Amino acid sequence: MTTTARTVIGGNWKMNTDRAAGLALARAVSDAAKPLASKVDTAIFPPFPYLPIISQALCDAGSSLWLGAQDCYHAEKGAFTGEVSVGMLKDVGVKIVLAGHSERRHVLHEGDDLVNLKVRAILNAGLWCILCVGEKLEQRVTGQTDTVNERQVRLGLREVSPDQLARLVIAYEPVWAIGTGKTATPADAQDAHFNIRGVLADMFGKDAAARVPIQYGGSVTAANAVELMAQPDINGALVGGASLKAEDFAKIIQAGAR
Q: List the catalytic residues.
A: 101, 173
Asked whether position 241 contacts ligand 13P by CB under 6 A, the answer is yes
Stretch that binds ligand 13P, among 49-57, 76-84, 172-180, 198-206 (CB under 6 A): 172-180
Q: For 19-118, where are the E strands, in sequence order?
A: 40-45, 66-69, 96-99
Residues 6+ away with beta carbon under 8 Å from 160: 119, 120, 123, 168
Which residue has its beta carbon closest to ligand 13P?
240
Residue ranges in 8-37 that form contacts with ligand 13P under rule CB under 6 A: 12
Nearer to ligand 13P, 52 or 179 (CB): 179
For residue 239, the cross-strand partners are 11
Asked whether position 44 contacts ligand 13P by CB under 6 A, the answer is no
Asked whether position 219 contacts ligand 13P by CB under 6 A, the answer is yes
Comparing C-alpha atoms, which of 20, 32, 3 is closest to residue 11?
A: 32
3-state secondary structure (DSSP) of residue 144 = coil
Nearer to ligand 13P, 115 or 204 (CB): 115
Please say whether the beta carbons of 54 and 67 come within 8 A.
yes
User: What angle separates helix 246-256 from helix 19-33, to the nearest 10 degrees?
Assistant: 30
Out of 240, 250, 252, 254, the residue judged to bind ligand 13P by CB under 6 A: 240
Asked whether position 238 contacts ligand 13P by CB under 6 A, the answer is yes
Three-class SS of 193-206: HHHHHHHHHHHHCH
**φ, ψ of residue 179 in degrees (nearest 5):** 70, 15
Binding mask 101-140 for ligand 13P (x = CB under 6 A): x---------------------------------------
Nearer to ligand 13P, 33 or 169 (CB): 169
Stretch that binds ligand 13P, among 82-90, 154-162, 196-204, 235-243 (CB under 6 A): 235-243
C-alpha angle with apex 155: 80 to 125, nearest 5 degrees? 50
Out of 99, 178, 196, 229, the residue judged to bind ligand 13P by CB under 6 A: 178
Q: For 38-125, where are the E strands, in sequence order?
A: 40-45, 66-69, 96-99
Distances (CA, A) of 117 to 6, 94, 162: 26, 18, 17
Report, in Å, the least distance between residue 75 CB and ligand 13P.
24
Asked whether position 145 contacts ligand 13P by CB under 6 A, the answer is no
Nearer to ligand 13P, 110 or 173 (CB): 173
CA-CA distance, 77 to 243, in Å (whole number)?
32
What is the binding site for ligand 13P (CB under 6 A)?
12, 101, 173, 178-179, 217-220, 238-242
